[in-house]
Chain A
Amino acid sequence: MTKKGMYISLLISLFVCSGFILVKNKELLFEYPEYWPKPKYTFSNNTLTEEGFQLGRHLFYDPILSKDNTISCASCHFQATGFTHVDHDLSHGIKGRIGKRNSLVLINLAWNTSFMWDGSINHIETQALAPIHNKNEMDETLENVIKKLETISNYKKLFYKAFKDSTITGQRTLLAITQFVGMLNSYNSKYDKYIRNEVGGEFTAQEKNGLSIFKKECASCHKEPLFTNNQFKNTGLKIDETLNDFGRMKLTNMPCDSLKFKVPTLRNIQFTKPYMHDGRFETLQEVITHYTTDVQKSATLAKELEDKIRLTDKEKIDLLVFLRTLTDKEFLFNKRFSFPKSLVTNSNF
């Protein structure tokens, strides 16, 4: 072969080989303050990428997940109110069907050790199955969701971008949703900036006093920095006989779990009303009144609540003022978490 011939063959082989170079996805960093505990979920079998995140974001906002294409995740998990369903004690799903429990916030889920008010879901990746299949929520099946997604070329594209394969599977759908909801992290509230001594974190005397009351009376369950200890507690709420919801006991069948519900995070609590597993309290004032005056004793009452919580009127106000410092506007208005403009839905809104 001549020298020229060799160079040409080399160039051709390089050209052919370059077709096999994989275009790598843009990996996303999962960031959180270095003084925080490590998250439970680390995306080890679900590498966080921009493409996976965007696919998950589309699925989150798409009512295609529901039987009649009217209800998306965002229908009950609205960003501006902490990714929960504000103003509804119990959420409604398709055809106005009403569920049995209040919608939980989606905040810092990678630190959760279980999901739902009773902990019935043990892993973030399989949580979405619950609302998708629930008759009162989306009344759909994951199998059918896949069939619907397969008819939409944009989803085929998004799945290909995320998984380097346009085959849509149940697992991939769930993993993509997980990549989105797993990124919904809040750690830039006024409280956080106060802890970090940052600009914007200048606490008033009232807020400081509220924090110290909080540490004394509330933090045993609503532990900093996540504002939950991930445990299940009976908070002495009187049973609502229209619901007869005994909480975790229905799942475990153990009497010691009677009336126990998960300790939810208090982050962004200012905007996530109404409160408690059945949304019975419209205001934080009512919540505080419950804890200081109306705790019902029972065999399974949280030991943290055995001694009466006594607060003066001024202390109650200081506590409320402190709770407002848990609002994280950067999180609530982060455009990356909002409705993706490229999503075209067949929604019947």
Chain B
Amino acid sequence: MLAASRVRAPYEPRGSQDRSLERRVARAFKEDGILLESPALPLAQEAPLPRIVVQPPRAGHCHPASKAAIEELLRFFGPACYYGLRRIELVQGNHRDDRLVFGRLVVPGRIILYDQRPSPWTIAGALTADQLEVLCRAGALPETTTAGLHMTVVWPGETLRDFLRFDVLMHEIGHHMIQQYKGKRTLRVARSKDHEQWADAFAYRCRCVYQKAVAG
């Protein structure tokens, strides 16, 4: 993990707050009986948020987690979580992809969140038990219809937004943190399975912390 001062001011040159010279001078003056007033250091500025780029969604789609919602979440968790992130992009998904793709981390430091259909979703085919569990944990209400050929997923209230924010964005940030803090930003640093497990656990912890803070 990087030092907190570095995380707070990632673009400051190294040694920008080094006070050793000032202390040496003050000591020399003190030997001559002159006491110098120590000037207060300027407070380090908060690290800037990564750039968030928003592309208009496709017709009939939306970005469930808006730019403001993402910024609010990043500010809540602080610079330690977004250090090294270069940009977050809200983009249009690929209509040719048969899968439901929510987000992607392109190492190093680029997170892509795809637009989604508004609730309810109609999915051709069935989802596995693990996938259903992920959706249910996020608050979705999946329902199988038409002899198992289709599935309807209803997202009540803000659950879809929170799914995108925690289970997708924070999950990808979890992946990013593994890469970032291992110092090997462009190489795979863990087995995919371990990477995914760690990112899932990180997203879950973030959701718990956030919900506790909001409730408190």
- Decide whether A and B are members of one complex: no
